[in-house]
A and B are shown apart, each in its own frame.
Chain A
Amino acid sequence: MEDFGKIVFSAFIVWFTLVVGLIMLPAMFGISLGITEVYMKVLVKTLEWATLRIQRGSTEQQKPTTLVSNGIILRDDGSMEKEIADLRKGRSRPQINGEFELSDIFYFSKKGFESIVEDEVTQRFTSEELVSWNLLTRSNNNFQYISLRISIIWVLGVFIRYCILLPLRVTLAMIGLSWLVIGASLVGLLPNNRLKNWLSELVHLMCYRICARGLSATICYHNKENRPMKGGICVANHTSPIDIVILANDGCYAMVGQEHGGLLGIIQRAIVKACPHVWFERSEMKDRNLVTKRLRNHVADKAKLPILIFPEGTCINNTSVMMFKKGSFEIGGTIYPVAIKYDPRFGDAFWNSAKYNMVSYLIRMMTSWAIVCDVWYLPAMNRQEEESAVQFANRVKAAIARQGGLVDLSWDGGLKRAKVKDAYKEEQQKSYSKMIVGDHSS
């Protein structure tokens, strides 16, 4: 028994040293030993091979192959006026503007049916469907036995992901977070001077790099010259809490958020000692003016790090960008938009908070193949003279959507949980009323 205990212990020491030496230390200093690159190459090759086999398999079984188009129905994009006019064309009588027709009902029922079959909003709150299976059970909606080889690869994949990668990643994550807490607290003991700021940035960067390795994250940063500067506000589309790790790997930001309890609270309290982040108590969050004031003060101080804000307010599934809340755009200060796009083949980064809590989400992340994403830094934007905060927010949103190849929606991400406002229905009723009453006022 003793011998066994000793063997296990020494194996553990060896493994731990390997982890520290090969992964942690290079990560801390931003060097790469190339292990991840090799892993990714092998992974891509395997997935491509699996895709081909599955395609061949399904044609052999003569299942009807549909092109997975982005939608199941083709929608007319016309305005209400145009479509109702089209419906009325079949009439034998001449059309008089400002009349009601029985056929008008077809417009509303058609729109209703279309939205039942497929709508733009509810699909954004569940994970994106993949074109081809990526050998993860979770993204498989219909597991069919394709071939023995695919199944073997899949079993191998499960073993690798759960027995090799998961413990490794958990260790790295724990090291990274503990280092953050300890390092930040130590730096916090120093008096406020340039050295402290430099050390604080170093501690943050190192720890986020370790965490990124802990997720096997391969991040590609584009247009680094547009990186957010001090005294600015960085806005990005939100897919998961991991966005923070992704962005903080390449720069230091001041976080904004609610104070939490538990582990997250410990981290929050530690890092605020090293450099000023903006944490609000739950009661303070409700007071919009207070929030704006504090952020404005932070931004006004040009020595402070840029704030990181996710104006959508909730996690969306990375196929679209939903309404940006105007609060962040009223603060003033330069906005640095950032677009983040994850590659869904390697792992589904979207946090469906209705389905998974934080811990199960993190475990899902750590048992994916990898997190691969692109980050684009967009040129800075400022609010124009006659622009309202809402218009400015929409302009920034459009730029981010365009860069990331995402659908630009004006629907509120809050519809995940809340009901839609009646005001939209009333708008439609108003437009229709104008049509049937015509231009002569009632």
Chain B
Amino acid sequence: MGSRASTLLRDEEIEEIKKETGFSHSQITRLYSRFTSLDKGENGTLCREDFQRIPELAINPLGDRIINAFFPEGEDQVNFRGFMRTLAHFRPIDDHEKNKDPNVSEPLNSRNNKLLFAFRLYDLDKDDKISRDELLQVLRMMVGVNISDDQLGSIADRTIQEADQDGDSFISFTEFIKTANTSLEPWARLPGTTLHHCHC
């Protein structure tokens, strides 16, 4: 069978990544194959240009923000571990994880962490609240030049008004969770998790 390029990825590393992210063995090897194919410089890390080369990502209005999420503070390169850690937010929530021992730390792809991740896409300065400016910035990215500043401003004001409950004109994470109450399940189904999520 077509086993993928795991020659450079040692088994211990795969185990560590599995523990940390919850991806299965085969998913990790496939994602490693993807990582190496994006790594045009062949130095084991990805830079922002490597992501920009993906046309579907380059035309995504929030493309730059999403790419930024992969890079730790102030850095320009991300290695495979970091890549997987960020992608782990994307993994669908498995049923058998929902009844886990509450003492074990929350998996990266828990509902809470997914919402936190989305919150951070808005909250650029990481002060744990979304300001009107930050909201405007994201709105501007998503609509381009098609809406005037005034109209966008009123949309932002209306959103903050609805979400803000403690009256500080910012949206905190708790307020965000209440407002952005979506089912989240449409978020990416990996067939691998349903095929062999037991014998990892």
Using CB atoms and an 8 Å cutoff, list the residues of chain A in contact with chain B.
Answer: 54-55, 58, 63-69, 72-74, 76, 83, 86-92, 100-106, 108-123, 126, 129-133, 141-144, 411, 415, 419-420, 422, 424-426, 428-430, 432-434, 436-437, 442
Contact = CB atoms under 8 A, between A and B. Distances in A.
Nearest to A57: B1
Contacts of A422: 59
A89 B183 contact: yes
Contacts of B24: 64
Contacts of A64: 24-26, 196, 199-200
Contacts of A437: 146-147, 151
A131 B148 CA distance: 52
Nearest to A88: B182
A110 B118 CA distance: 10
A320 to B, nearest CB: 14
Chain A CB count within 10 A is highest, among B55, B148, B192, B199, for B55
A415 B59 CA distance: 13
Interface in B10-63: 24-27, 30-31, 33-34, 37-38, 51-63
B161 interface: no
Contacts of B179: 101-103
A220 B3 CA distance: 31
Interface of B: 1-7, 24-27, 30-31, 33-34, 37-38, 51-63, 66, 87, 90, 117-118, 121-122, 138-139, 142-148, 151, 155, 158-159, 163, 171, 176, 179-184, 186-192, 195-196, 199-200
Contact of A116 (B3, B27, B87, B199): B87
B146 A113 contact: no
Contacts, number: 206
Contact of A415 (B7, B55, B151): B55
A63 to B, nearest CB: 7
Chain B interface, >50% SS class: helix
Given A106-B182, A432-B143, A116 B6 contact: no
Contacts of A411: 55
B164 to A, nearest CB: 12
A409 to B, nearest CB: 10
A349 B97 CA distance: 45
A123 B158 CA distance: 43
A110 B186 contact: yes
Given A72-B30, A109-B62, A66 B196 contact: yes
B144 A68 contact: no
Nearest to A98: B155
A91 B181 contact: yes
Contacts of B33: 141
Contacts of A133: 2
A413 B58 CA distance: 16
Contact of B60 (A67, A90, A115): A115
Nearest to B33: A141
A433 B147 contact: yes
A74 B189 CA distance: 6
A442 B55 CA distance: 32
Contacts of A132: 1-2
Contact of B144 (A86, A89, A433): A433
Given A74-B189, A74-B191, A428 B5 contact: no
Contact of B1 (A54, A76, A424): A54
Given A86-B183, A114-B188, A432-B61, 10 more contacts: A69-B191, A83-B186, A103-B181, A105-B138, A118-B34, A131-B2, A141-B2, A142-B3, A424-B55, A430-B144
Nearest to A139: B2
B186 A73 contact: no
A87 B87 contact: no
Nearest to B66: A112
B195 A419 contact: no
Contacts of B121: 105, 109
B182 A110 contact: no
A112 B57 contact: yes
25 contacts: A64-B26, A64-B199, A66-B30, A66-B192, A66-B195, A66-B196, A67-B195, A89-B183, A90-B181, A101-B159, A101-B179, A102-B159, A103-B181, A105-B138, A109-B118, A110-B90, A110-B187, A112-B66, A115-B57, A116-B57, A117-B34, A129-B2, A131-B1, A144-B3, A419-B52
Nearest to B151: A442
Which 6 pairs show the lowest CB-CB distances between chains A and B? A429-B144, A433-B146, A115-B56, A112-B66, A424-B59, A90-B182
Contacts of B147: 433, 436-437, 442
Given A100-B159, A142-B3, A425 B143 contact: no
A116 B159 contact: no
Contacts of B52: 419
Contacts of A428: 59-61
B2 A112 contact: no
A101 B180 contact: yes
A58 B4 CA distance: 13
Given A122-B54, A142-B3, A442-B151, A429 B183 contact: no
A110 B188 contact: yes
Contacts of B188: 73-74, 110, 113-114
Nearest to B178: A92
A420 B187 CA distance: 26
